[in-house]
C-alpha cells in the first residue's frame, strides 16, 4: 500500500513537472514570437519611412509632410527598432541574434542613404533595399527554425521577389526588374 501511494505520488509529480515545463516552453515561444513580430514590424516601419524620405529628397515622390516631421517620425521608429532588437537579444538563440544583427546593419545602410549620410546612386539605393528584404527573409528562416515551425520562405515555392518600384518621373529612369520566372534558364 505504501509502495502504491509512493508510485502514485511520483507519477503525479512527474506529470505535473512535465506539464509545467511544457507550459513554460510554450510561454517563452509565445514571447519569442511577439519579439520576432515586433522586430520585423519595427524594421519595416524604418525602411518604409526611409523610402519616403529618400523618394521625397530625390523628387520621386511629392512631399506629403514637412521633412522635420518625417525625420522626427524616423527617429522614433529607430528608437522602437532598437528596443525591439534588445528583446531579440534577450530571448533568441545565437542564429536568430546573428540574423538580427545582419538585418539591422542592412536596415541602417538604407537609413543612412535616405538621410544623406552616405552617397549613392539609385541603383545603390535599390541594392540596399534588396539587401534588407533578403535579410528579412533570412531572419524569418532562423526565427521559424527557432520556433520549430516547419516549411520555408526561401525555397523554390517562394522565389525571390524584386522591389515594387514607383513609375518613372521627370528625369528619372526607373526600370522594373522582374524576378526570373519558371521559364528562365
Q: Is residue 155 part of a domain?
A: no
Q: Is residue 100 part of a domain?
A: yes
Please tell me which of 104-108, 150-154, 155-159, 175-179 the model is most confident about, judged by mean pLDDT.
104-108
Q: Is residue 16 part of a domain?
A: no
Please tell me which of 15-19, 54-58, 63-67, 72-76 the model is most confident about, judged by mean pLDDT.
72-76
Domains contained in the chain, number: 1
Residues listed for the chain? 185
Q: Is residue 18 part of a domain?
A: no
Cell of 133: 528584404
Q: Is residue 166 part of a domain?
A: no
Q: Is residue 128 part of a domain?
A: yes
Residue 76: pLDDT over 80: yes
> CA 35, CA 40: separation in Å to the nearest integer?
9
Residues spanned by the domain of 128: 24-147
Q: Is residue 77 part of a domain?
A: yes
Q: Which of 7-11, 51-55, 85-89 has the lowest mean pLDDT?
A: 7-11
Residue 177: pLDDT over 70: no
Q: If we measure between CA atoms, which residue out of 105, 177, 162, 90 comes closest to residue 139? A: 105
Q: Would you call 87 helix, strand, or coil by DSSP? A: helix
Mean pLDDT, rounded, of the chain: 81
Q: Is residue 58 part of a domain?
A: yes
Residues 56-68 have pLDDT tens digits of 999 888 888 899 9
Beta strands in the chain (DSSP E): none
pTM of the model: 0.72
> CA 170, CA 58: separation in Å to the nearest integer?
11
User: Going by C-beta distance under 8 Å and a sequence separation of 6 or more, which residues neighbour residue 112?
Assistant: 118
Tell me the CATH number at 130. Answer: 1.20.120
Amino acid at each position: 500500500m505504501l509502495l502504491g501511494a509512493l508510485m502514485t505520488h511520483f507519477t503525479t509529480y512527474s506529470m505535473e513537472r512535465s506539464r509545467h515545463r511544457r507550459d513554460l516552453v510554450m510561454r517563452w515561444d509565445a514571447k519569442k514570437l511577439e519579439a520576432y513580430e515586433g522586430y520585423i514590424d519595427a524594421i519595416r516601419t524604418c525602411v518604409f519611412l526611409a523610402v519616403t524620405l529618400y523618394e521625397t529628397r530625390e523628387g520621386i515622390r511629392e512631399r506629403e509632410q514637412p521633412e522635420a516631421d518625417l525625420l522626427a517620425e524616423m527617429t522614433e521608429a529607430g528608437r522602437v527598432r532598437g528596443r525591439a532588437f534588445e528583446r531579440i537579444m534577450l530571448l533568441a538563440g545565437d542564429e536568430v541574434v546573428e540574423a538580427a544583427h545582419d538585418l539591422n546593419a542592412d536596415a541602417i545602410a538604407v537609413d543612412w542613404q535616405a538621410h544623406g549620410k552616405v552617397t549613392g546612386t539609385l541603383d545603390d539605393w535599390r541594392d540596399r533595399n534588396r539587401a534588407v528584404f533578403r535579410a528579412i527573409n533570412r531572419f524569418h528562416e532562423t526565427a521559424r527554425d527557432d520556433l520549430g515551425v516547419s516549411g520555408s520562405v526561401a525555397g523554390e515555392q517562394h522565389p525571390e521577389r524584386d522591389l515594387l518600384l514607383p513609375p518613372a518621373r521627370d528625369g528619372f529612369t526607373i526600370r522594373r526588374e522582374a524576378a526570373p520566372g519558371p521559364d528562365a534558364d
